[in-house]
Amino acid sequence: MTDNIYDALRESHELQRSLCRALLRSKPHTEQRIATFTALRIELAAHAAAEERFLYAPILMEDAGLSSARHALHEHHQMDELVEDLQVRDHSGASWLATARKLSHKVHHHLREEEKKFFQVSGKLLSKAEKVRAAKRYRKDYARMQKTLKSA
């Protein structure tokens, strides 16, 4: 079976779900909380950048995909803002945990919606070859972004 863009994205989605759960279970004043948040922040950013370039951009070019791609981009922006907010807050405070819960909820909502709706819409617009090519490009850019963000 040939790897396609949806297989590649689902791998990252599972990691995002796992990191969100771990973040919400983390204890204040611990290195684990900071490490988990950092891992989630990098995962979300690398995934979003590669996904936007190699799945959303082609779908934005299609009238039938315009609305759903724009909605998904908007949700990425909302998650970015929550991550930025968490970066400047005290990691041990109650408001930090409340914002982390909002982020987790937004991530889970976005992934569920993307897998149940956006994948179906985009799947009808891309050929099998385009899905395979998008997976290769996504994986390469995702790995590059992970490396870049970890060293920043």
Mean pLDDT of all residues in 28-52 = 96
Least confident of 1-5, 50-54, 107-111: 1-5
Q: Side chain identity at 115, as an amino acid letter? A: E
Q: How confident is the model at residue 1 (pLDDT cuts 50, 70, 90)?
A: low
Please answer whether residues 56 and 73 qualify as being in contact, where contact means their C-beta atoms are separated by less than 8 angstroms. yes
Q: Report pLDDT for 152.
A: 85
Name the H helices within the chain.
Answer: 5-25, 31-51, 57-60, 63-88, 94-113, 119-125, 128-151
- Total domain count, the chain: 1
Q: What percent of the chain has pLDDT over 90?
A: 93
User: Hey, what are 67's tokens?
Assistant: 């609305």
In this structure, the chain runs to a length of 152
Q: Report pLDDT for 62.
A: 96
Task: Domain of residue 66: give its range.
Answer: 5-151
Q: Could you count the other beta carbons within 10 Å of the beta carbon of residue 15?
A: 15
* CATH, residue 33: 1.20.120.520
